[in-house]
């Protein structure tokens, strides 16, 4: 597992994560399984 967080502004950040690096195999229906990639944009504000 790997992850990176970048703060664009104090209220806005970007997360990037990769899970299952180096894992292979197949799902039960025969489709190849690769690494999972996640990108998350998060804004925190007050109102």
Q: Is the pLDDT of residue 25 over 80?
A: no
**Long-range contacts, stretch 12-18, CB < 8 angstroms, 24+ apart:** 12/41, 12/42, 12/43, 12/44, 13/41, 13/42, 14/39, 14/40, 14/41, 14/42, 15/39, 15/40, 15/42, 16/40
Query: What are the extents of the domains in the chain?
Result: 2-43
Q: Is the pLDDT of residue 14 over 80?
A: yes
Q: Which pLDDT score, from 0 to 100, does residue 22 have?
A: 66
Q: Is the pLDDT of residue 37 over 80?
A: yes
For the chain, the average pLDDT equals 87
**pLDDT-derived band of residue 9, with 50, 70 and 90 as boundaries?**
very high
Give me the phi and psi of 46, to 5 degrees please.
-120, 140
């Amino acid at each position: 597992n790997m992850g990176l967080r970048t703060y664009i502004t104090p209220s806005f950040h970007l997360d990037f994560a990769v899970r299952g690096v180096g894992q292979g195999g197949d799902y039960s229906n025969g489709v190849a399984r690769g690494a999972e990639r996640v990108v998350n944009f998060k804004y925190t504000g007050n109102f």
